Chain A
Amino acid sequence: QVQLVESGGGVVQPEGSLRLSCAASGFAFSSYGMHWVRQAPGKGLEWVAFIRSDGSKKYYADSVKGRFTISRDNSENTLYLQMNSLRAEDTAVYYCAKDPTVGGTLDYWGQGTLVTVSS
Protein backbone atom coordinates (compact mmCIF):
# COMPACT_ATOMS: atom_id res chain seq x y z
CA GLN A 1 0.00 0.00 0.00
CA VAL A 2 1.06 3.59 -0.54
CA GLN A 3 3.14 4.99 2.31
CA LEU A 4 4.57 8.46 2.68
CA VAL A 5 6.68 9.20 5.73
CA GLU A 6 7.91 12.72 6.41
CA SER A 7 10.90 13.52 8.58
CA GLY A 8 13.23 16.39 9.35
CA GLY A 9 10.94 18.70 11.25
CA GLY A 10 11.94 20.42 14.44
CA VAL A 11 12.58 23.76 16.07
CA VAL A 12 14.66 26.29 14.14
CA GLN A 13 15.48 29.94 14.72
CA PRO A 14 14.21 32.68 12.42
CA GLU A 15 16.38 33.00 9.30
CA GLY A 16 17.53 29.41 9.81
CA SER A 17 17.29 26.47 7.42
CA LEU A 18 15.80 23.01 7.52
CA ARG A 19 15.46 20.16 5.04
CA LEU A 20 12.40 17.95 5.10
CA SER A 21 12.32 14.47 3.60
CA CYS A 22 9.45 12.28 2.50
CA ALA A 23 10.17 8.58 2.03
CA ALA A 24 7.77 6.94 -0.41
CA SER A 25 6.89 3.28 -0.80
CA GLY A 26 4.14 1.09 -2.23
CA PHE A 27 3.97 2.77 -5.61
CA ALA A 28 6.16 3.69 -8.60
CA PHE A 29 7.53 6.90 -7.11
CA SER A 30 9.34 7.96 -10.28
CA SER A 31 6.06 8.00 -12.21
CA TYR A 32 4.20 10.56 -10.10
CA GLY A 33 4.34 14.22 -9.29
CA MET A 34 4.59 15.13 -5.65
CA HIS A 35 3.47 18.03 -3.49
CA TRP A 36 4.23 19.67 -0.18
CA VAL A 37 1.27 21.15 1.71
CA ARG A 38 1.41 22.82 5.11
CA GLN A 39 -1.00 23.58 7.90
CA ALA A 40 -0.27 26.17 10.57
CA PRO A 41 -1.51 25.28 14.07
CA GLY A 42 -5.29 25.55 14.14
CA LYS A 43 -5.43 26.85 10.57
CA GLY A 44 -6.37 25.55 7.14
CA LEU A 45 -4.36 23.89 4.41
CA GLU A 46 -1.85 25.81 2.29
CA TRP A 47 -0.28 24.32 -0.81
CA VAL A 48 3.49 24.91 -0.84
CA ALA A 49 5.15 23.30 -3.84
CA PHE A 50 4.91 20.68 -6.60
CA ILE A 51 7.48 18.76 -8.61
CA ARG A 52 6.87 16.67 -11.70
CA SER A 53 7.74 13.00 -11.77
CA ASP A 54 11.06 13.56 -13.52
CA GLY A 55 11.85 16.78 -11.67
CA SER A 56 11.65 18.82 -14.86
CA LYS A 57 9.07 21.28 -13.60
CA LYS A 58 8.55 22.85 -10.21
CA TYR A 59 5.91 25.24 -8.93
CA TYR A 60 5.79 27.21 -5.69
CA ALA A 61 3.39 29.27 -3.63
CA ASP A 62 4.28 32.96 -3.66
CA SER A 63 4.74 32.82 0.11
CA VAL A 64 7.75 30.51 -0.20
CA LYS A 65 9.13 31.34 -3.66
CA GLY A 66 12.84 32.11 -3.51
CA ARG A 67 13.19 30.59 -0.02
CA PHE A 68 12.05 26.98 -0.43
CA THR A 69 13.25 24.41 -2.97
CA ILE A 70 11.47 21.18 -3.79
CA SER A 71 13.51 18.29 -5.17
CA ARG A 72 13.42 14.53 -5.46
CA ASP A 73 15.69 11.52 -5.75
CA ASN A 74 13.89 8.88 -7.76
CA SER A 75 16.64 6.34 -7.12
CA GLU A 76 15.95 6.68 -3.38
CA ASN A 77 12.15 7.16 -3.64
CA THR A 78 12.49 10.33 -1.62
CA LEU A 79 11.03 13.82 -1.89
CA TYR A 80 12.70 16.83 -0.28
CA LEU A 81 11.88 20.36 0.76
CA GLN A 82 14.82 22.64 1.47
CA MET A 83 13.60 25.57 3.54
CA ASN A 84 15.84 28.64 3.94
CA SER A 85 15.32 32.05 5.53
CA LEU A 86 12.61 30.62 7.74
CA ARG A 87 10.06 32.93 9.34
CA ALA A 88 7.67 32.54 12.25
CA GLU A 89 4.81 32.28 9.77
CA ASP A 90 6.38 29.13 8.30
CA THR A 91 5.53 27.30 11.52
CA ALA A 92 3.27 24.44 10.47
CA VAL A 93 2.82 20.74 9.97
CA TYR A 94 4.28 19.92 6.57
CA TYR A 95 2.68 17.11 4.58
CA CYS A 96 3.96 15.46 1.46
CA ALA A 97 1.33 14.16 -0.93
CA LYS A 98 1.20 12.12 -4.12
CA ASP A 99 -0.44 13.45 -7.27
CA PRO A 100 -2.24 10.81 -9.38
CA THR A 101 -2.22 12.95 -12.51
CA VAL A 102 -0.15 16.07 -13.21
CA GLY A 103 -0.70 19.02 -10.92
CA GLY A 104 -4.14 17.87 -9.94
CA THR A 105 -5.45 16.20 -6.89
CA LEU A 106 -3.56 14.85 -3.92
CA ASP A 107 -4.62 11.26 -3.45
CA TYR A 108 -2.28 10.04 -0.71
CA TRP A 109 -0.82 12.07 2.14
CA GLY A 110 1.81 11.43 4.76
CA GLN A 111 1.16 12.04 8.45
CA GLY A 112 3.17 15.25 8.46
CA THR A 113 6.18 16.67 10.27
CA LEU A 114 6.04 19.74 12.49
CA VAL A 115 8.30 22.69 11.82
CA THR A 116 8.47 25.37 14.51
CA VAL A 117 10.28 28.63 13.79
CA SER A 118 11.02 30.36 17.04
CA SER A 119 13.85 32.08 18.86
Chain B
Amino acid sequence: EIVMTQSPATLSVSPGERATLSCRASQSVSSKLAWYQQKPGQAPRLLIYGASTRATGIPARFSGSGSGTEFTLTISSLQSEDFALYYCQHYNNWPLTFGGGTKVEIK
Protein backbone atom coordinates (compact mmCIF):
# COMPACT_ATOMS: atom_id res chain seq x y z
CA GLU B 1 0.00 0.00 0.00
CA ILE B 2 1.28 3.46 -0.91
CA VAL B 3 1.39 5.81 2.05
CA MET B 4 0.56 9.45 1.35
CA THR B 5 2.00 12.02 3.75
CA GLN B 6 0.80 15.62 3.78
CA SER B 7 2.51 18.59 5.35
CA PRO B 8 2.03 20.71 7.24
CA ALA B 9 -0.93 19.42 9.22
CA THR B 10 -2.12 22.99 9.72
CA LEU B 11 -1.27 26.06 7.66
CA SER B 12 -2.13 29.52 8.96
CA VAL B 13 -2.44 32.05 6.16
CA SER B 14 -3.85 35.55 5.84
CA PRO B 15 -6.50 36.24 3.18
CA GLY B 16 -4.87 37.28 -0.07
CA GLU B 17 -1.64 35.44 0.70
CA ARG B 18 -0.28 32.37 -1.06
CA ALA B 19 -0.64 28.89 0.43
CA THR B 20 1.60 25.97 -0.47
CA LEU B 21 0.57 22.46 0.57
CA SER B 22 2.79 19.40 0.18
CA CYS B 23 2.04 15.75 -0.43
CA ARG B 24 4.59 12.95 -0.54
CA ALA B 25 4.07 9.37 -1.71
CA SER B 26 6.00 6.45 -0.24
CA GLN B 27 6.72 5.26 -3.80
CA SER B 28 6.26 6.74 -7.24
CA VAL B 29 2.69 7.35 -8.35
CA SER B 30 3.73 8.99 -11.62
CA SER B 31 1.21 11.82 -12.13
CA LYS B 32 -1.75 9.86 -10.75
CA LEU B 33 -2.43 12.28 -7.97
CA ALA B 34 -5.58 14.18 -7.07
CA TRP B 35 -6.38 16.96 -4.59
CA TYR B 36 -9.68 17.47 -2.81
CA GLN B 37 -11.11 20.25 -0.68
CA GLN B 38 -13.47 19.55 2.20
CA LYS B 39 -15.39 22.07 4.27
CA PRO B 40 -17.03 21.24 7.61
CA GLY B 41 -20.17 19.17 7.21
CA GLN B 42 -19.67 18.82 3.45
CA ALA B 43 -18.48 16.12 1.11
CA PRO B 44 -15.06 16.48 -0.49
CA ARG B 45 -14.78 18.30 -3.80
CA LEU B 46 -12.32 17.37 -6.53
CA LEU B 47 -9.88 20.22 -7.25
CA ILE B 48 -7.00 18.74 -9.24
CA TYR B 49 -6.34 15.46 -11.05
CA GLY B 50 -3.38 14.20 -13.02
CA ALA B 51 -1.27 16.18 -10.53
CA SER B 52 -1.87 19.46 -12.34
CA THR B 53 -5.20 19.54 -14.21
CA ARG B 54 -7.95 21.59 -12.62
CA ALA B 55 -11.33 19.91 -12.37
CA THR B 56 -14.38 21.52 -13.94
CA GLY B 57 -15.29 24.84 -12.37
CA ILE B 58 -12.20 25.13 -10.18
CA PRO B 59 -10.76 28.67 -10.10
CA ALA B 60 -7.37 29.36 -11.65
CA ARG B 61 -5.91 30.36 -8.27
CA PHE B 62 -5.65 26.63 -7.54
CA SER B 63 -2.69 24.93 -9.18
CA GLY B 64 -1.00 21.58 -8.76
CA SER B 65 2.48 20.42 -9.60
CA GLY B 66 4.84 17.52 -9.15
CA SER B 67 5.31 13.94 -10.25
CA GLY B 68 6.75 10.74 -8.87
CA THR B 69 6.71 11.13 -5.11
CA GLU B 70 6.56 14.88 -4.46
CA PHE B 71 3.50 17.03 -5.12
CA THR B 72 2.36 20.55 -4.33
CA LEU B 73 -0.99 22.30 -4.26
CA THR B 74 -0.72 26.07 -4.46
CA ILE B 75 -3.49 28.53 -3.79
CA SER B 76 -2.18 31.78 -5.21
CA SER B 77 -4.31 34.28 -3.28
CA LEU B 78 -6.46 32.85 -0.52
CA GLN B 79 -10.12 33.80 -0.54
CA SER B 80 -12.40 33.41 2.48
CA GLU B 81 -14.04 30.36 0.92
CA ASP B 82 -10.67 28.58 0.59
CA PHE B 83 -10.19 28.03 4.31
CA ALA B 84 -10.83 24.32 4.54
CA LEU B 85 -9.24 20.87 4.71
CA TYR B 86 -7.26 19.61 1.73
CA TYR B 87 -6.47 15.98 0.93
CA CYS B 88 -4.22 14.41 -1.66
CA GLN B 89 -5.00 10.94 -3.07
CA HIS B 90 -3.07 8.66 -5.39
CA TYR B 91 -4.67 6.44 -8.00
CA ASN B 92 -1.60 4.68 -9.34
CA ASN B 93 -2.74 1.25 -8.17
CA TRP B 94 -5.02 -0.45 -5.66
CA PRO B 95 -5.74 0.32 -2.93
CA LEU B 96 -6.31 4.01 -3.40
CA THR B 97 -5.02 5.95 -0.43
CA PHE B 98 -5.46 9.49 0.87
CA GLY B 99 -3.08 11.69 2.77
CA GLY B 100 -3.95 12.72 6.31
CA GLY B 101 -4.97 16.21 5.21
CA THR B 102 -3.82 19.80 5.64
CA LYS B 103 -6.07 22.28 7.36
CA VAL B 104 -5.78 25.80 5.94
CA GLU B 105 -6.88 28.25 8.60
CA ILE B 106 -7.13 32.00 8.85
CA LYS B 107 -4.09 33.66 10.38
Any A CB within 8 A of the CB of B101: yes
Are the CB atoms of B1 and A50 closer together than 8 Å?
no
Any A CB within 8 A of the CB of B34: yes
Specify which chain A residues have a CB less than 8 angstroms from the CB of B89 in the assembled complex: 45, 47, 105-106
Any B CB within 8 A of the CB of A54: no
**Among residues 59 to 107 in chain B, which have CB atoms less than 8 Å away from a CB atom of chain A?**
87, 89, 91, 94-101
Question: Nearest Cβ in chain A — how far from B94, in angstroms?
Answer: 5
Q: Dominant SS at the B interface?
A: loop
Chain B residues with CB under 8 Å of chain A are 1, 32, 34, 36, 38, 42-46, 49, 55-56, 87, 89, 91, 94-101
Known: A44-B100, A45-B38, A47-B89. 15 other contacts (CB 8 A): A35-B96, A44-B98, A45-B44, A47-B95, A47-B98, A60-B95, A95-B43, A104-B34, A105-B46, A105-B49, A105-B91, A106-B34, A107-B55, A107-B56, A109-B45
Can you list 21 residue pairs at the A/B interface with Cβ under 8 Å?
A: A35-B96, A37-B44, A44-B98, A45-B101, A46-B98, A47-B89, A47-B95, A47-B96, A59-B94, A60-B95, A62-B1, A95-B44, A105-B46, A105-B49, A105-B89, A106-B34, A106-B46, A107-B46, A107-B55, A108-B46, A109-B45
